A and B are shown apart, each in its own frame.
Chain A
């Protein structure tokens, strides 16, 4: 025998189910009067610094159908590449930018809309700069453990080419699944859970 490490195991995940919106965006599903507004619904205000952008996302299942009952959360740096959290030690992030957004999709179209700003660059542990990106977490009925992925910006070609995460992908053609094309002030990010265009998901 030897000494025990006394570590605990993480509580096992279970699907968020089809009614995740009751818990996480109740106002959206007509449960009003409990919370003044849904958490994460607004990331910016009039004073937020940086370039305003709209990000529209869709999620497709393995049969090619748009999923309408999912929930996406994003976490991102402000326009200077700082995170709005007390753990940020490199400076003080823009107090008018939350950095965190939570949205359900439009129930008819399956489109998720995030009104936010273009993030600045955040360092990798070795000091190299990462390309601007959003960190995503996706839950839904039929997803047993929340999926982690990232969204990069199509008009950041130079930064994307040097990005430490994108460049470590063994199959470089898959990097394209993480890059959202721009149309005007809107980026369109299509997430594919399965199939030929399956999005890169991370174990981080």
Chain B
């Protein structure tokens, strides 16, 4: 018999005070895009606790290397070369394997490869700005990229986004779906950002700041940042079903 808790139950209720509220007027776009009625709860069904599964075979060789995946042969993206690595855990502090992690970012000048980005910083012909990977059996992931630049955005007259990488994660259930952003240790712009400041609790912001890890750096190549991510945890069905192996 296995003593591990079986993975079968529904997910813990989301702590909504830890996440940014829908209506956060310092970030002006939320004003007309935030639902105002109470959210409705119901017991999770298979529609909520299951989700699509992605296999490692779908990944291309360069999917986790943004310095090369949009570059001409023999060339690479411009900017400070970094490795971002970490572990995906759940609220029970257990590693989550098989998580599809997708990421996107601006180039080293703070410009996105997107029709709607008119910032005057130039595009880098060798940088697309997207990548993906899948966590291993211990919940680990990593990718290579360049450190993105800060950029101005239309909110207040002089609002700038701190350097950041956008993350999208698929856990094992559709209600674990999460999109967030990673920031960089030591960046003074973090605490001035209206989007960061939609998060009410400073401790929640701190978990979005990746730590410089010189021990994981590759000498003469790339520095490393560690960014662990926590997805919603799952209730064990100890008292609802018999334990596996019993």
Contact = CB atoms under 8 A, between A and B. Distances in A.
Contacts of B218: none
B113 A87 contact: no
Given A14-B208, A29-B115, 6 more contacts: A16-B168, A22-B128, A31-B70, A61-B33, A130-B47, A202-B42
Given A7-B93, A16-B166, A202-B41, A143 B22 contact: yes
Contact of B29 (A23, A30, A142): A142
Interface string B19-61: 1111010010111111111011111111111111110000010
Given A122-B46, A142-B30, A194-B35, A75 B174 contact: yes
A165 interface: yes
Contacts of B175: 148, 204
Contacts of A95: none
Interface in B1-32: 13-16, 18-22, 24, 27, 29-32
- Most interface-central of A69, A122, A135, A150 (chain B CB within 10 A): A135
A125 B241 CA distance: 13
Nearest to B53: A85
B199 to A, nearest CB: 5
Nearest to A65: B32
Contact of B35 (A21, A24, A76, A193): A193
Contact of B33 (A99, A148, A169, A193): A193
A9 B204 contact: yes
Interface string B159-200: 000000010100010110111110000000000000110110
Would you call the interface of chain B mostly helix, strand, loop, or mixed? loop
B29 A12 contact: no
A80 interface: no
Interface string A62-91: 110101010001011100000111111000
Interface string A1-40: 0000011111111111111111110100111011110010
Contacts of A168: 40, 42
Interface of B: 13-16, 18-22, 24, 27, 29-37, 39-54, 60, 62-63, 69-70, 89-93, 102-104, 112-117, 128-132, 166, 168, 172, 174-175, 177-181, 195-196, 198-199, 204-205, 207-208, 229-233
Given A11-B229, A26-B128, A204 B42 contact: yes
Contacts of B14: 10, 203
Contacts of A146: 177-179
Given A31-B70, A203-B39, A204-B42, A144 B51 contact: no
Please indicate which of the listed interface residues B22, B33, B44, B117 has the most CB atoms of chain A within 10 Å of its own CB.
B33
Contacts of A137: 174, 177
B35 A144 contact: no
B30 A144 contact: yes
B180 A14 contact: yes
A25 to B, nearest CB: 10
Most buried by B among A18, A23, A62: A23
